[in-house]
Amino acid sequence: MTQITRRAGLGAMAALLAAPNLARAQTPTIRIVVPFGPGGSTDAVARLVSPGLQQRLGANVVVENRSGAAGSIGADLVAKARPDGQTWLLTFDSHSTIPALLRNPPFDVLKDLDPVMLIGGSPYAVATRPDKPFQTMADVVAAAKARPDGVSYGSTGNGTIGHLSMIRLGEKAGARMTHVPYRSGGLAVNDAVAGHVDMMIGSAALMLPHITGGSLRPLLQFGPQRLSRLSETQTAAEAGFPGMEAEAWWAVFAPHGTPAEMVNRMNAALKETLSEERARTVMTETQQARLVLSTPAECGTFFRGQVETWGALVRAANIQPD
């Protein structure tokens, strides 16, 4: 009798120990694919929302970085994933230029991915290392005119709105600069801080921590008015380049055919997460970003306009992928 009782006790203990493992095995895992390397603003947004999504969706949320080819490698992974609500894309503005940038895109950005939410945006800014000889953008233009292609700038990749904005600025100023594309904002910032490029263009969200910390000096911002944390830095219009507003943006997409109820549930979870005080403060104050938190339909309308607007510039400038 004692032996039977002992066996029963051991069996019950084993069941108790196994229960948490069984629960974990049954908890679904959701992948948030970021088509850029770690350290950039897109990666930061994905990691900011992950805890809130995990709580609201009742799933393990994993951020997966898949960089390369202007974000098309990671986006293609999502486009070809099963539309079962387990895989999502959180991407950047270069997503809109893929059709014009790549000769034979592996997927159709408008047909193979369904819009979920336009999270928001942040004006682009140009900054340089403090010991570089540039105090304003006028200094950069003068140096570039004196030494065509002798002034370099980094960006988060070919075909990003930041890259396209610098092309437009160079054309308006009559100055040629050398573009150095990177696979992520983190890599671009690191090289700008190290002085390997003369300056870089990135979203204010990406640049502000380095500007505030003193490792970069701002030269120009592309918003309609000065950001509160860049109050001493000229806008493009103030610097003599009217009509040069440019904003980085982040959006979420799902594999085409993902059921509407899943898309709406993710949209709601994102909205609730980014409406929390901490997340909203990080986005709007720390990173000076503009939150939109759109509906799926609004995201689709916005994205189609971006594909048309920036795709035309990519084709006109004959920009090639990284």
Q: How would DSSP label each residue in 176-225?
A: --EEEE-SSHHHHHHHHHHTSSSEEEEEHHHHHHHHHTTSSEEEEE-SSS
Q: What burial letters (b/e) apply to 111-148, b meaning 16+ CB within 10 Å?
A: ebbbbbbbbbbbbbbbbbbeebebeebeebbebbeeee
Instruction: Please list the residue range(s) of the chain that carry CATH number 3.40.190.10.
Output: 123-230
The CATH code of the domain at 22-121+248-317 is: 3.40.190.150
Architecture field, domain 123-230? 3-Layer(aba) Sandwich (3.40)
- Tokens 């629960």 identify what position? 23
The pLDDT value recorded for residue 10 is 43
Among residues 62, 63, 65, 64, the alpha carbon closest in space to that of 37 is found at 65
- What pLDDT tens digit does each residue of the chain (322 aa) get? 444 444 444 444 444 444 445 444 578 999 999 999 998 899 999 999 999 999 999 999 999 999 988 889 999 999 999 999 999 999 999 999 999 999 889 999 999 999 999 999 999 999 999 999 999 999 999 999 999 999 999 998 888 899 999 999 999 999 999 999 998 888 999 999 999 999 999 999 999 999 999 999 999 999 999 999 999 999 999 999 999 999 999 999 999 999 999 999 999 999 999 999 999 999 998 888 999 999 999 999 999 999 999 999 999 988 887 6
Instruction: Please list the residue range(s) of the chain that carry CATH number 3.40.190.150.
Output: 22-121+248-317
The pLDDT value recorded for residue 257 is 98
The pLDDT value recorded for residue 322 is 67
Task: Give the DSSP H or E segment for 108.
Answer: none
